[in-house]
Structure 1
Amino acid sequence: MRGRGFTLIELIVVIVLLGIVGLASTSLIRFGALIFTDIANRDEILSSSRFVIERLNRELREALPNSVRETNTGAIQCLEYIPVVASSYYSAIPETGRSGSQVKAIPPDGYSFTNGQSLVVYPSVKNAQLDVYQDNANKRHLIDSFSQGATGELATFTLTSNTTYAQSSPARRLYIVNQPVSYCVIGGKLYRYSQYGYYATQQTIGMGAGVLMADILTNDLSVALEQPFSVTQATLTRNAYVTLYLKFGINDGELVFNNEVHVANAP
C-alpha cells in the first residue's frame, strides 16, 4: 500500500494557519507588554505623586501660624510658608520702650541652634498681610546664639542686636523658625525652594535653584478651579487650611489628588 504525503494545497493551508497563529501570539504578547508597561508607568507616577502629597502635608502641618500664603501669575503659582524648628514659652521679651537682645524661655525639647534661625513672637495678619514677612513689623528677629542653661533654669536666646518685639503673645508663646520654603508649579513641574530669605512681597522667581519634586502636572493655572494651591486664612473660630489640587497626566488619562491640610493657629 502506497503512503500518502501532503498535497500542495494542504501544505499551503498549514502554512497559512501557522502564520495566523503566530501573528495572534505576537499580538497577544505585544498587548500584554503594553499593559505591563502602562501599569508600571502608572505605579511609578502614583508612588512619586503620593510622596509629594505626603511631604506637602507633613511640612504644612509644621508651618508657622499665619505664615502660609500663595501667589499666581497665570504661568507660575507658588505656595510659601515658614517652617517651625521648635516652640516654647518665654518669661520676658524685649518690648516697646524696653529694648534688649535676650529672651528667656523654657528650654525647647531636643532643640539645637543653627545659624540663620529666627525667633518669632505673635505672628498675625494685618490688612491682609502676613506681618512675619515684614522686616519692620518686629515680629521676627535673627538669633545670634542659644544657651541651654543649667537643669531647672531658663534658656537664653541672644538676638543679633538690641531690638524690640511689636507685641507680646497672650500665651507667651515663641517659635524658632528656619527661612521660608516655597513650592512652585512652573511649566507642568513642581519645584521646592529654600534658603532664599524673607520678602515682604511673595516671589515667584529669583529664589535660586529649586529642587524638582514632580513633573507631568496638567493643572491649568489660568483656571481658578484648577489652581494647585488655595490658602484660606485662619479666623477666630477655625484654623487656616490649604487646599492641594494636583493633576498628573498619565498617557491619555489623569491622576488627581485633592485634599485639605489644616495649619495650626496658635500664635
Structure 2
Amino acid sequence: MRQQQLNKDAGFTLIELVMAIVVLGIVGITTSKFVGWGATYYVDVSERQLVLDDSRFVIERLTRELRSAVPYSLRTLNDTDNNTACIEYIPIVTSAKYLDAPISPTSSSSLTLVSPTSGAITAASQISIYPTAVADVYNSASQQTFTIDSVDAVDEDDESQVIHFAASISIGQGSPASRYYQWTTPVSYCLENSKIYRYQGYPAAVDQFNPTELKAADDVSYSLMAENVSNSVLTEAPFHVDSHASLLRHGQVAIYLEFSRLTDNNESMFFHHLVQIPNAP
C-alpha cells in the first residue's frame, strides 16, 4: 500500500511543468542571442578585414608602381558626372645616361647612349630626354620624346650603344644630368563608381583616355584591383599630382581613398597616402 502511494506522488505538477517551460524558454532565447551576437560580430570583423585588405593591396601596388614612373608622365582625369577618376603614368623600361645627343639647334638621326645595366634598348620603343611637362612625354611635337627605329649592338670597349631614328631629330632641351628614359606603353588606375581597375597595353596619346575609351582600345587588358570604394569625385578626387622637379626627384602623388563596408555605408575607412616620385628628368 505504501509503495503504491509513493508511485502516485512521483510525477510533476502542472505548475512545475509551466515553470520548467518558462525557464527553458528564457535559457533558449538568451543562448540564441549570444550565438546571434557572435555570428554578427564574426561577419562584421570579416567585412572590415575584407575592406582593409582591399585598401592595402591597391595602395601598396599603386605606390610601388608610381615610384618607377617616367618623370612628368603622371596625369589625372576626373569626370564628376560619371563619378570616375583616373591616374595615368608610364613605367620606365630602362634608364641611363646619353653621351652624344643632337641638342637643338643641331640635328642627327642617331644618338649615343650608355648601355643600361638591366634590360635592353629595343626598336619601336620611346625615349624621353629631359621632360619637364606632361606634353614633353606624350606629345612628340615637344621634341623631348622620340620613337627608336633601330638599335646597334653594344660596344664592348666603353659599353656605349647607338640608336637610330627614322629621320633626323633635334632635342629641344638637354638634360642637366644627361639622363634618358626608355618606355613603351602607359598604365592607368581608374576609379569607376565603387571599383578600381588597372589598364595596360594601350598606346600613349596626347589626350588622356577615359575608362570607356580604354576598354575599347586595341590589345588593352584590365584587372579589378579594389571594390567598395565610396569616393565622390565631385567632393574629393582620389588622385592628386604635385610636380616639383629637381635633379633628385620629380614630384609627389597624393592618394585619397574612402572604403565603405558592405552592410553599413555609414561606416567608412579613409586613407590619405603620399607617394614620392624619385625619378628626375
Following superposition, the deviation at residue 131 of structure 1 comes to 2.0
**Identical amino acids, percent of aligned pairs:** 36
Q: Which residue of 2 aligns with 1:58?
A: 64
1:245 aligns with 2:259: no
1:43 aligns with 2:49: yes
Q: May I ask how many residue pairs the two structures share in their alignment?
A: 262
1:211-226 mapped onto 2 (5 Å cutoff): 211-223=223-235, 226=236
Q: Which residue of 2 aligns with 1:258?
A: 272
Higher CA-based Rg: 2
Following superposition, the deviation at residue 98 of structure 1 comes to 4.1
Secondary structure at 1:199's aligned position in 2? Answer: coil
Alpha-carbon distance in structure 1 between the residues aligned to 2:33 and 2:157: 75
Which consecutive unaligned segments of at least 5 residues does structure 2 have? Answer: 216-220
Q: Which residue of 1 aligns with 2:143?
A: 138
1:32-181 mapped onto 2 (5 Å cutoff): 32-74=38-80, 75-113=83-121, 116-125=124-133, 130-146=135-151, 147-150=153-156, 152-181=158-187
Alpha-carbon distance in structure 1 between the residues aligned to 2:121 and 2:177: 23
Give the TM-score taking structure 2 as reference length. 0.85
Q: Give the AA of the match of 1:32.
A: G
Q: Over the residues paired in the alignment, what is the CA RMSD in angstroms?
A: 2.2
Q: Give the AA of the match of 1:188.
A: S
When structure 1 is superposed on structure 2, of 108-117 and 191-200 the one drifting more is: 108-117
- 1:246–1:86 Cα change, 3 Å: same
Contact between 1:66 and 1:234, CA under 8 Å: does it hold in 2? no
Following superposition, the deviation at residue 25 of structure 1 comes to 1.2
Secondary structure at 2:131's aligned position in 1? Answer: coil
Following superposition, the deviation at residue 132 of structure 1 comes to 1.3
Which consecutive unaligned segments of at least 5 residues does structure 1 have? Answer: none
When structure 1 is superposed on structure 2, of 36-45 and 141-150 the one drifting more is: 141-150
Q: Which residue of 1 aligns with 2:218?
A: none
Following superposition, the deviation at residue 97 of structure 1 comes to 4.9
Secondary structure at 1:206's aligned position in 2? Answer: helix
Contact between 1:64 and 1:264, CA under 8 Å: does it hold in 2? no
Deviations 1:111-139 (A, max 9, x none): 134565311111012xxx53211121121
- 1:101–1:201 Cα change, 3 Å: same
